[in-house]
Amino acid sequence: MKYLLVFIIFYNSVNIQSQNSDYYKIVYQTKSMLLKTYKQPKEAYASLYVYKDKSIYQWDNESQLDSVRAKRKITNEDLSRYFSREKYAIEFEKDVLKYYDNFGDNEYQYEEKISFNWVLKPETKTIKGYKCKKATLSYGGRDWIAWYAIDLPLNVGPYKFRGLPGLIIKMTDITNSYTFSIHSLKTKKHLHLKKLYHLKEESERIVVDRSKYNEIRFKYKSLSFQDRMNLLNKNQGVTNVLEFTGSDNNNPFKSERNVDRSKKNNFIEIDHKK
């Protein structure tokens, strides 16, 4: 019996080490209430590619579009086929996050050192065949509930979330505005763990902090389509200040219609400056 116990411990240790040397592709189904006026959340798929302490999280349509961009010039048909409401990508190495997003003709990026204060709970449930335990977290102005797999020793999850003693199988904020549910999990011999295509060269990207990015995003997403085109045509160049006046010398960020539009936004992170 003693030898059997030692063998089981040894086997589990080797099995975990073997798992940790694999590449993983984890696909999440997402449901997002990007606007408060939506009657139903918008569904999409995003993939998390993992190898040891490195990972990249990206929307599947954006990832496929990046693959096309890396080979040739994209067409309007490509843009329609791989349309994505969200365009950001998140790279992790160790505990440092790099976040990339495009607004108009600019690419923004910021770094964030992540250290989540998870609260582990005793509740358990089975989700898609995985025995899970509950954890809670406050981040980005929202309160979250996570369910992580006890038998999958991967401390990663969707979006920025990580640091639990098991793979996050499901993640939901308490308002049910955002839900991430595991769709599939596969091991691979190799995966590319960097964003395949960038709108701008590294020297031309606009580097800001998280607070400034959220402020810029809030402003940009509040603009009408015409105001966004005006901003694009103005060609501000590299800037971390999203300010301009329209042809009538009025600031579109302060127009009544855009102020009303801004109140309908329902971002995943809501601790932004307004």
pLDDT of residue 166: 98
pLDDT higher than 70, residue 252: no
The answer to whether residues 47 and 172 belong to one domain is yes
Considering the domain boundaries, does residue 62 fall inside one? yes
- Domain contains 182: yes
Residues 221 and 183 grouped into a single domain: no
CB 178 within 8 A of CB 33: yes
* Same domain (yes/no): 136, 225: no
Which of helix, strand or coil describes residue 72?
coil
Residue 224's pLDDT is what? 74
Shared domain check, 184 and 94: yes
Q: CA geometry: angle at 136 spanning 33 and 173, to 5°?
A: 5
Residues 226 and 168 in one domain: no
Share of the chain above pLDDT 70, in %: 80
Q: Does 70 share its domain with 123?
A: yes
User: What's the pLDDT score for residue 13?
Assistant: 33
* 117 and 244 assigned to the same domain: no
Token digits of residue 12: 């589990």
CA distances from 235 to 65, 215, 274 (A): 24, 20, 24
- Tokens read off for 32: 């997002």
Q: Which domain holds residue 238?
A: 208-264
Does residue 169 carry a pLDDT above 50?
yes
Does residue 224 lie within any of the structural domains? yes
The average confidence (pLDDT) of the chain is 84
pLDDT of residue 255: 60
Residues β-bridged to residue 22: none
Answer yes or no: is 157 within a domain: yes
Pairwise CA distance, residues 13 & 19, whole Å: 10
pLDDT of the residue at 11: 35
174 and 69 in a common domain: yes
pLDDT of residue 269: 94
Last residue of a domain, one of 188, 223, 248: 188
270 located within any domain: no
Same domain, 179 and 215: no
**pTM (two decimals):** 0.84
**Helix residue ranges, H only, the chain:** 2-20, 60-69, 76-81, 210-221, 225-234, 256-264
Residue 15 lies in a domain: no
**124 and 238 in a common domain:** no
Q: What is the pLDDT of residue 245?
A: 45
| Domain final position from 160, 188, 216 | 188
In 10 A of CB 150, how many CB atoms?
A: 13
My answer on whether 179 and 214 are in the same domain is no
Provide the pLDDT for residue 24: 97
Cα(first)–Cα(last) distance of the chain, in Å? 65
Q: Which comes out higher in pLDDT, residue 164 or 217?
A: 164
Q: Which whole number is the average pLDDT over 133-157?
A: 97
Considering the domain boundaries, does residue 90 fall inside one? yes
CATH code at position 173: 2.50.20
pLDDT score for 128: 95
* Structural domain contains residue 203: no
* 60-117 pLDDT tens trace: 999 999 999 889 999 999 999 999 999 999 999 988 999 999 988 889 999 999 889 9
Residue 227 and residue 124 share a domain: no
In contact, 176 and 198? CB cutoff 8 Å? no
Residues 6+ apart with CB under 8 A from 14: none
Number of domains in the chain: 2
Contact indicator for 171, 143 with CB cutoff of 8 Å: no
The token pair at 218 is 């809030």
For residue 144, pLDDT over 80 is answered with yes
